[in-house]
Structure 1
Amino acid sequence: MEAALRRLEGGAAVALSGGVDSTLLLHLARRHVPGRVAAFHLVTSLQPATERRWAAVVAQRLGAELHFLHLDPLSVADVRANGPRRCYHCKRLLYGAVREQAAAAGLAHVLDGSNADDLDDDRPGLAALAELGVLHPLAEAGMGKGEIRRLAREAGLPGWNRPAQSCLATRIQVGQPLAPERMTLVERGEGVLRRFGVAPVRLRWGPAGFTLQVPPDYHPRLRDPALWGLLRRALEAAGVAPVDLDPRPRPSP
């Protein structure tokens, strides 16, 4: 992958979410891409607030130039409607803005931290990135999440073992409109669960209420009535109710 990065004449803009994938990509780009490399973090209502703070930590630790782009995906009707191609329309907006800012800064390429595991899923957002000419060096090198975490650990990068985060819109049942208050409750509820040591975790919303998804090893613990009752009361106090445990375990990231 280093050789491919060295061929990217004219500098690069790296979309930095703060996750381990984009952190490793920024680290490698700064070492191997000829010319200037700058990181761009997208600030939206669809991302947990913790991600902006963490992106700043990553950039500071790596000594990287960092720009924040404030955007409103919910201003796009096809994003608000939360249909099957929501991610396509959202990525067109977000990465279109990164490409514009990169061009204004004289940076020839836009790089994204998608990995090889992402290519196994049906992700309309990847089609939008392809249309915009965004490059995925990690995926193109065949690197999956396990290898990325290993390389990040060996390089001493911050957050190499940090649980993966994802867009809050993915927590809302497809076809149900994206309402800021719903995503706020999801973010608040996941924060409550992390304070109890339940992580990684996904709290999903549908018309019937909230569903909690956790890795397989958490299921025996959460079937304990005392612990489950404690968690439900804490979530209810945060306005997150009703909550049920999804019987299908969520794989660890």
Structure 2
Amino acid sequence: MDNKKYIGLLNYMKDLGSVVVAFSGGVDSTFLLRAAKEALGDKVAALTIVAPYIPRWEVSEAKELVKKIGIRHEFLEVPTIIDEIKLNPKDRCYLCKKTLFSMVKSFAKNNGFEYVVDGTNVDDINEYRPGLRALKELGIRSPLLENGLTKSEIRELSKELDLPTWNKASYACLLSRIPYNTELREEDFDKIEKSERYMIDNGFKVVRVRCHKDLARIEVPRNDIKRLIVMDLLDEISLKFKEFGFKYVSLDVQGYKTGGFNSDIEGEVKQDAKRTFTRG
């Protein structure tokens, strides 16, 4: 592929020698894993985290993707919610990443890999992602970010590489569906996952179901709201969501927005981004 950034990425990966790719099965980590294989061959392993707040269908998709790429695939089992984030603090992403990626680093060290890499890209630094600070502190490398690749470029290159994820909707762990300073419960993750999967299977590829205890707040892009407001469909959604464990079901008329609970901490969002990516 004659693309300067992609060639630069391959050379960057070769210089690392051997890597563990933190692999979720999303657009970025799939592209990164494909590039890592091209650059390093069998000196690569994909490691997928399995936790209560990672949708099971996403783990299944990750398995299939790695199988197609043809790379060693391992799983980091985290069977319960880690103590540091049980009350969903504002810096839960930082605390979670610090704990989980410390485990990933241990895996890499114990299995003879030199580096851990993740799929952070250039666009991520403009969002509230305190977890990126944890990655920086742990020495996790972010090849896509360090080679100046944006989300749109990653999608374009993924399409050229014939990766099935090139047009996959962006996703995030289910922790982002719960308001800050709210006790995290595994039963909430279960009903969120089932509800979102139901919406996806009904053609709403971009959807978030925010959980306010017994109330589900559905977010879809504004141009999908009209398609959603059909009485028979609304009745069906309400019935299904209640089967999944919600008592009340609502629609956010403002539509989908990334980081739906971050508006309450807007000042901290800006400060965290500035602090994390100030280059010294």
| TM-score, normalised relative to structure 1 | 0.93
Contact 1:8 1:34 in 2 (8 A): no
CA distance in 1, matches of 2:227, 2:185: 32
2:55 corresponds to: 48
What SS class does the counterpart of residue 216 from structure 2 fall into?
Answer: strand
Percent identity among equivalent residues?
Answer: 33
CA distance in 2, matches of 1:88, 1:178: 16
> What whole-Å deviation, never above 9, does each CA across 1:155-176 have from its counterpart, x for those lacking one?
0113222222211111011111
Contact 1:6 1:34 in 2 (8 A): no
CA distance in 1, matches of 2:42, 2:223: 46
1:7 to 11, 15, 22: 15
Contact 1:221 1:227 in 2 (8 A): no
CA distance in 2, matches of 1:235, 1:46: 18
CA distance in 1, matches of 2:135, 2:82: 20
| TM-score, normalised relative to structure 2 | 0.84
Moved more, 178-187 or 225-234: 225-234
1:59-74 paired onto structure 2 within 5 Å: 59-72=66-79, 74=81
Contact 1:26 1:39 in 2 (8 A): yes
CA distance in 2, matches of 1:251, 1:149: 20
> What whole-Å deviation, never above 9, does each CA across 1:89-142 have from its counterpart, x for those lacking one?
111111111100101111111000111111101211011111110011112222
Moved more, 214-223 or 33-42: 33-42
1:96 corresponds to: 102
Contact 1:59 1:66 in 2 (8 A): yes
1:244 corresponds to: 250
Structure 2: tracts of 5 or more residues without a match: 1-8, 259-280
Q: CA deviation at 1:251?
A: 5.2
Runs of 4+ with >4 A deviation? none
1:125 corresponds to: 131
CA distance in 2, matches of 1:218, 1:15: 32
1:110 to 108, 116, 129: 116
> What whole-Å deviation, never above 9, does each CA across 1:22-48 have from its counterpart, x for those lacking one?
000001011124871111111111100
Moved more, 221-230 or 88-97: 221-230
Moved more, 122-131 or 136-145: 136-145
1:136 aligns with 2:142: yes
Give the letter aligned to residue 128 of structure 2: D
What SS class does the counterpart of residue 159 from structure 1 fall into?
Answer: coil
Contact 1:176 1:206 in 2 (8 A): no
What SS class does the counterpart of residue 40 from structure 1 fall into?
Answer: strand
Structure 1: tracts of 5 or more residues without a match: none
Contact 1:168 1:187 in 2 (8 A): yes
Aligned residues: 250
What SS class does the counterpart of residue 76 from structure 2 fall into?
Answer: strand
Distance change in 2, residues 1:243/1:186 (3 Å):
same
1:32 corresponds to: 39
